[in-house]
Amino acid sequence: MSSGYTLAELKAHLGGEALGDTSRRYSGVASLEHADEHQISFLVSDKHLAAARASKAGALLVPAALAERISQPRLIVANPHAAFARAIGLYHPEPVAAPGIHPSASIAEGADIAVDAHIGAHAVIGERARIGPQSRIDAGCVIGPGVTIGANCRLHANVTLYAGCRIGDRVILHSGCVIGADGFGLAWEDDHWLKVPQVGSVVLEDDVEIGANTTVDRGALDDTVIERGAKLDNLIQVAHNVRIGAHTAIAACVGIAGSTRIGAYCQIGGAAMIIGHLEIADRVTISAGTFVGKSIREPGTYTSVQPFMAHADWKRNAAHLRHLDHMHERLKQLEKILSELERKSP
């Protein structure tokens, strides 16, 4: 952990305008609720203004619109949340792993590993695999034959990359994620399923981050592609031949079926389900738990979640749903009768 920063030093790193004592040193970062006088916090909107005024934080990162409404020393920045994220990085820099290959790692003939890369204990590096400068491969990772990994990547413990996957620069893969397993390709023949060989690959472009235990399947013929800057949470299933656009963010437990194309700058809430062969436009927001059963052609927010209710109420409503089509037909008949009566009335 850093020994601390003054407001003037934070300004040099984060930009903005400092107000109040700029020479006092702050030892860390914390939330508004738990910060003390030696720590900094941040304020995004007036919704948390009362909490900011009551906070014991020694200094705050604030937007210009709120700078005159608090008394603590403050750094005025355009985006306090982003500035705070960078401040956390200053106080808690990523540990630097020593370059080199652990004696217990297994390195195949023909693997090309940058001299300043780090290969952890019991990692397995396949034939013709290439690992770029300053990349870190932690303990127990399995890198298949022909995999390419760019510069400054971080693979946490027990990540698996199947053969031929291509990983860009500054990619982060968290523990347990599996990249390049076979897509779920099957053909029915007579009385059984025939496996369709999955001969495509997976491409993760620069600055992609993928959470723990998420799986990204290889393409059947073409590649599964996750474009630059996309962020995927834990426990997501990305099926074969999916394409996810640049800077799209997907929360935990989402399932994306095969050959669906998701645009750039989308946001997909947790546990959403997206069926295969769909097109989702750029800048679409899909609410948590939503089932997407057809393509979305226009930007906007889309939701299909039934609010929770008492179980007894749900049972009664579910019983009515079974009769919905019959009720619809009766309503059409009543509308027809009413229309006839209105036409005949003087």
Residue 238 corresponds to which amino acid?
V
Q: Which two tokens stand for residue 90?
A: 């200053």
Query: pLDDT tens digits for 137-155?
Result: 999 999 999 999 999 999 9
Torsion on CA atoms 68, 74, 79, 84, rounded to nearest 10 = -150
Mean pLDDT, 10 residues at a time, the chain of 346 residues: 84 96 95 96 95 96 95 96 96 92 97 98 98 98 98 98 98 98 97 97 98 98 98 98 98 98 98 98 97 97 90 91 92 93 81
Residue 126 corresponds to which amino acid?
G
Residue 134 in contact with residue 116, Cβ under 8 Å? yes
- The H-or-E segment that residue 106 falls in is strand 106-107
Report the pLDDT value the prediction gives residue 308, as an integer from 0 to 100.
Answer: 86
Give the CATH fold of the 5-91 domain. 3.40.1390
**Three-class DSSP labels, 246-291:** CCCEECCCCEECCCCEECCCCEECCCCEECCCCEECCCEEECCCCE
Tell me how far CA of residue 108 lies from CA of 81, 121, 162, 179, in angstroms.
Answer: 44, 15, 15, 20
**Three-class DSSP labels, 53-101:** HHCCCCEEEECHHHHHHCCCCEEECCCHHHHHHHHHHHHCCCCCCCCEE
Report the pLDDT value the prediction gives residue 42, as an integer from 0 to 100.
Answer: 97
Report the pLDDT value the prediction gives residue 1, as an integer from 0 to 100.
Answer: 45
Kindly list the catalytic residues. Answer: 240
Report the pLDDT value the prediction gives residue 305, as an integer from 0 to 100.
Answer: 81
User: Given its phi and psi angles, is residue 253 left (phi above 0), alpha (psi -120 to 50 degrees) or beta?
Assistant: left
Q: Which two tokens stand for residue 77?
A: 């920045």
Give me the phi and psi of 91, to 5 degrees please: -80, -25
Report the pLDDT value the prediction gives residue 57, as an integer from 0 to 100.
Answer: 97
Report the pLDDT value the prediction gives residue 3, as an integer from 0 to 100.
Answer: 77
Give the CATH fold of the 100-302 domain. UDP N-Acetylglucosamine Acyltransferase; domain 1 (2.160.10)
Torsion on CA atoms 150, 154, 158, 161, rounded to nearest 10 = -20
User: What value does the CA radius of gyration of the chain take, rounded to a whole number of Å?
Assistant: 27
Give the pairing of strands 39-42 and 59-62: parallel
